[in-house]
């Protein structure tokens, strides 16, 4: 499709991802590859996954940074309450200060984080969305985000839901996680007319102050060590896009 004289319009690329706390580099790559991202806040909360926690590195070893929650079974992510009876904000900041005070970017990143942790929230979704919004601004990532729960009723089946969300935004390309090859229904996507590109992510390594390298940490581990532009380059350096049939 042409837009103006001599200009070819690029297809609108949509990514859909759960709004997790302290996401890893592969999620940041999806933000960078997409034009629009949907924060899928209507999925079920799963204990001990990545919706409310991720790893940082302390003395060369992985350490979980967890937002404590009060939840029940079959609860949606946007219904989960933070357990603010526990002093988790203070503990997080103390852990991060102890673990990263000697890193190259500490003097820039830690004051920013202190302001992020001043945010008051009762629901996990509110905390995560504020964290993600502040993170994108700090990293100068301009991809616009939409909340799935604000987009009206969607089909219950997974593929139908994703297709409907893409259509709602006018998406012509869906940026899917590499794992989608194992469960997405190709026939449904072929009928939709929406092209699917799967992100194959090979985690890049970088100095962490210990050995062996701890992959798939939250983005804070990398931000404390490198400026945001370098972190964005790291995220994309580990990324390759493929279609249904390509290797």
Instruction: Please give the backbone phi and psi of residue 31, each rounded to the nearest 5 degrees, phi first.
Output: -60, -40
Contact present, 228 and 140 (Cβ < 8 Å):
yes
pLDDT bucket at 3, cuts 50 / 70 / 90: low
197-217 pLDDT, tens digit per residue, is 999 999 999 999 878 999 999
Q: Which stretch of 3-12, 61-70, 138-147 has the lowest confidence by average pLDDT?
A: 3-12
* Residues in contact with 235: Cβ distance below 8 Å, sequence separation at least 6, in sequence order: 25, 26, 28, 29, 32
DSSP state of 207: -
pLDDT bucket at 74, cuts 50 / 70 / 90: confident
d(CA 189, CA 21): 29
85-95 pLDDT, tens digit per residue, is 999 999 999 99
pLDDT bucket at 59, cuts 50 / 70 / 90: confident
Is 76's pLDDT higher than 80?
Answer: yes
104-125 pLDDT, tens digit per residue, is 999 999 999 999 999 999 999 9
Find, among 27, 34, 26, the residue nearest to 201 by Cα: 26
pLDDT bucket at 154, cuts 50 / 70 / 90: confident
C-alpha separations of 135 from 22, 109, 123 in Å = 9, 10, 19
Indicate the pTM of the whole model. Answer: 0.93
Element (H, E) at 88: helix 88-100
């Amino acid at each position: 499709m042409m837009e103006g004289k001599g200009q070819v319009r690029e297809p609108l690329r949509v990514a859909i991802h759960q709004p997790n706390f302290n996401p890893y580099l592969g999620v940041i790559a999806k933000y960078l590859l997409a034009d629009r991202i949907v924060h899928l806040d209507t999925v079920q909360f799963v204990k001990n996954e990545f919706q409310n926690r991720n790893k940082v590195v302390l003395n060369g070893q992985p350490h979980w940074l967890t937002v404590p929650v009060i939840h029940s079974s079959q609860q949606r992510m946007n219904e989960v309450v933070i357990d603010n009876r526990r002093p988790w904000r203070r503990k997080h900041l103390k852990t991060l200060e102890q673990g990263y005070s000697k890193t190259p970017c500490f003097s820039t990143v830690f004051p920013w984080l202190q302001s992020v942790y001043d945010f008051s929230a009762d629901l996990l979704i509110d905390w995560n969305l504020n964290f993600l919004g502040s993170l994108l601004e700090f990293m100068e990532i301009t991809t616009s985000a939409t909340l799935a729960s604000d987009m009206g009723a969607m089909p219950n089946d997974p593929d139908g839901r994703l297709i409907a969300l893409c259509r709602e935004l006018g998406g012509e390309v869906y940026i899917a996680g590499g794992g989608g090859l194992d469960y997405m229904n190709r026939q449904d996507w072929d009928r939709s007319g929406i092209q699917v590109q799967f992100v194959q992510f090979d985690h890049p390594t970088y100095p962490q102050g210990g050995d062996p390298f701890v992959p798939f940490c939250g983005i804070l581990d990398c931000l404390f060590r490198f400026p945001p532009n370098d972190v964005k380059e790291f995220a994309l350096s580990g990324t390759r896009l493929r279609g249904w049939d390509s290797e």
